Every structure is written in structure tokens, then in C-alpha cells.
Amino acid sequence: MLRKFSFLTTLTTIGIIQSSLALSTQLQQNGDFFLPNQESTQNGFLQIESSQKVTQVSDSWSATRRSSLSVSDDVPQIVSLSSWMTDLKKNPKISQLKINQITIPGAHHAGLTYLLPFFELIEAIFGKLGLKDIYDSKPKEFISYLINSILVPHVYSVEEILQQGGRYLDLRISQDLDDPNEIYLSHCFLSKIRLNDSLAIVNKFLQANPGEIIILDIPVDYDPFGTVGNPVPHQEIDAQIRQNIDSKFILTRDNISQPISTYGGVYFTNFEQNSTLSQIKIKAGWAITQDADPQQVVKNIKNYYESDQYLKQDPIDFDMLKCDPYVTASTDSAIETLVYETLFESQPLPLDPLISSKVIPANLKSSAKLSNPLFYDTVYRSDKLLNIVNIVEMDLFDAENAIRAIELNFYRYF
């Protein structure tokens, strides 16, 4: 494994920091995230981008320069996050690899950007947490904000996540109580983001980028606090997939053993095994590695892989590995976060781990600002992790963190 190259001199990472520069690049081309054509530098990525046609979001962040490392001529160049797999597969060293031999950026509760309040359940949750006084004394709009802060992990839609490089999508779903034909993305509560619309977006994306490989994880939503909505029968999931995904894009478990250069399309997993669709098996360490503290989650993931604990966990027969560097709220962390955010209702503090760490524990987007960079920094420092990490399922998915995941493939193979 050769790490002596600088395939991306403007990639944000924690560690080995030599100098920083601020980037704010806006570029639109056919609605995709494209990296601007700079002078040829033989780098893996030509530049970081941070714009998108749906919301015209422009992010700026501090990025590190690894200027003292030498450059390798055979490193593939990725010019678009919408087609990074296609770009990567052009390299002969990568083209013969299987999908479980590369690192894939993914999103936990992908595309879930809001939840609709169901105040009967919210009242029950606050009562169970001993916070009924907050529920009774605060406006409904603020109560809805609090619930969204501990249950909503993203600011980007499914379409935006795909355009920014996401290739594993965790689409948790529930059936509407009043209309069983309506299936929505959910997390304890329902959104109005339909499964069929999300599938149609995936299909449209593959039509534009047929060489990309996507994994759709479609579990029925469950939350210990309760769930607004009914379980979705696998027959309905099957039907919606076949109605919205072209058959030529539907992959089977047999494709897992084939080189990634030979196909594109979408894998499915995690709904009932008597489905008519072929599904892959993903081994996730979440049950062992999950924690309410961002730093402890990352430590648990490191130990899980470096101790070979993942080899002993069921299923033994698996196709892909998935790690989950996001927090799972405990009762205590949920209470702490809700109380703290209520105290600062009229003057909210920035949800940044370096400024208001007490807010982090159960605020999903805030905690991910710490857990994501900690995770990647840990992987960079561990040869064992670097050679094992396959799917990375993140909260607060964005182009920056997608690039961090994609970067691991360069460190691993060049």
C-alpha cells in the first residue's frame, strides 16, 4: 500500500494538517455536482465542489493541503461526484475489484430532512422523559423543532445526496395510517417524502449515470419511542420498486462476485427475505458499536474491526460490511439535549461541537459534525480499518464527507 501521493490537495481531513485554505466553489452543469477543470495536476480529484441545482447551496469549509507528498501518475481522476464510481472504474487497478472491496459513502435515514409532528405521540414521549412541563409550556412550533433536532439527520434530499456522491441509501419507511397506498420516509414520525418518488429519483439518476452502483437499504421504521405509521408489507415494497426502477438496473446477489467495471445499477437489502427481489446481505456492527457519545462510537468501531469482532458476528455469510459512525441517543442524552435547547430557545447557540458541546449528544446533525471527522481521522491512522471499511453510513451527509470516504480508496490501492 503506497500513501506517497497527493491525489487531492484540497481535501478536508483531521490530522497531518500542514496548511489550510477556504474553498467556496459554485458550479452547475446538467444539475450535477461537477468538479471544475483546473490545470492538470495528476491528482485524484481536480477540485472540491459545493453547489447543486435544487437549492443552489454553496458551502465553504476549511480544507487541508498535503503539499509535501509526491504525486503518482496512475491515480485515477474523478471529475464529478455524480459519476465518481464510473471515473474510478476506468483505472485498471480498480476496475477488477468487487463492490465489497471499495469504500462507499452512504447516508443514514437518507433524504430525511424533516418530520411532521404527531402531538399525541410527542406528548407521550416528553412525559416518558419527565419533560411534560416543557411540552405544556412551549409553543407547538418549538416542540416540533425539538423533535426534529433529535430525529432528523440531514439537510439534503435523496437527489442531492446522489449528486454529492452517496451510493448507499438507508430509506426507512412507514405506511400512512389513513392511506395504505402512501409510504413515506420516517423516523418515529412520518415525513411527506414518498418512497415511490425516492425510487423514481434513483432511477432517473441511473439513467443519467448508468455506470454507478447504488445500494438501497429499505427497512421498515422502528423506534423504541413508538412509530406513527404501519409496517409496510414486502409485497408493496416489491411493487413500488418494479414500478419505479427499470428492470435493467435491478441487480442481484450474483453481481456481488463480478468486477465493478462490468455493471451498474442498484442492489436492494433489508426487507423481508420472501420478497420476489434478490437481496444482498450486509453485515452491520451497529448493535455492538452504537453509543450516545460521538467519540465512544468511533472508539467502538475501531475496536470492532481491529479485534476481528466483525468476523464472529452474524451473519457469517455476508456480501458487504457497513459501519455506522453516528450517535444513537440514550434516554439521558435525549433529556440533556432537549433541556439544553429549551434553555436557549430565544437565543440558540451554534450547533457546533467546538462551541456548544452540551447540545451534541442527541442532536443528530450537531453530533455528526464531530463523529464524522473523528471517524475518518481514525481510519486514516489504522491500516486494518483502511483495508476493511466498505460502506460508511453517515448522518449529515454532504460532498465533503463523501470525498473523505472516496479518498480511502486511493489510500488503500495507490
Q: Are strands 61-64 and 20-23 parallel, antiparallel or unpaired?
A: antiparallel
Structural domain including 166 reads 84-412
CB 334 within 8 A of CB 129: yes
Burial class (CB in 10 A: 0-12, 13-18, 19+), 113: middle
For residues 3 and 17, give the distance between their C-alpha atoms in angstroms, rounded to a whole number. 15
Find all residues with CB under 8 Å of 62, minimum gap 6, and list them: 12, 20, 21, 22
Residue 134 forms part of a structural domain: yes
CB 205 within 8 A of CB 253: no
For residues 312 and 299, give the distance between their C-alpha atoms in angstroms, rounded to a whole number. 19
Edge-to-edge strand list for the sheet holding 213-217: 265-269, 213-217, 168-170, 104-107, 391-394, 320-323, 282-284
Strand partners, 190: 186
For residues 324 and 240, give the distance between their C-alpha atoms in angstroms, rounded to a whole number. 27
| pLDDT at position 63 | 32
Residue 73 forms part of a structural domain: no
| pLDDT at position 71 | 43
pTM for the full predicted model: 0.84
Query: What's at 352, amino acid-wise?
Result: D
CB 232 within 8 A of CB 182: no
Residue 53 forms part of a structural domain: no
Find all residues with CB under 8 Å of 279, minimum gap 6, and list them: 253, 267, 268, 269, 270, 271, 273
* CATH for 280: 3.20.20.190
| pLDDT at position 410 | 93
| pLDDT at position 41 | 35
Tally of structural domains, the chain = 1
Residue 50 forms part of a structural domain: no
Which cell numbers in the block locate residue 278? Answer: 434478490
| pLDDT at position 14 | 29
Find all residues with CB under 8 Å of 295, minimum gap 6, and list them: 370, 371, 374
Residue 358 forms part of a structural domain: yes
For residues 173 and 186, give the distance between their C-alpha atoms in angstroms, rounded to a whole number. 5
Along the 414 residues of the chain, how does pLDDT read in single tens digits?
A: 444 333 343 333 322 222 222 222 332 333 444 443 333 333 355 443 333 333 333 233 223 323 223 346 678 888 899 999 999 999 999 999 999 999 999 999 999 999 999 999 999 999 999 999 999 999 999 999 999 999 999 999 999 999 999 999 999 999 999 998 899 999 999 999 999 999 999 999 999 999 999 999 999 887 767 789 999 998 999 999 999 999 999 999 999 999 999 999 999 998 876 788 999 999 999 999 999 999 999 999 999 999 999 999 988 899 999 999 999 999 999 999 999 889 888 776 666 665 555 556 789 998 999 999 999 999 999 999 999 999 999 999 999 999 999 999 999 998
Residue 186 forms part of a structural domain: yes
Residue 314 forms part of a structural domain: yes
Residue 65 forms part of a structural domain: no
| pLDDT at position 28 | 34
| pLDDT at position 277 | 93
| pLDDT at position 66 | 31
| pLDDT at position 348 | 64
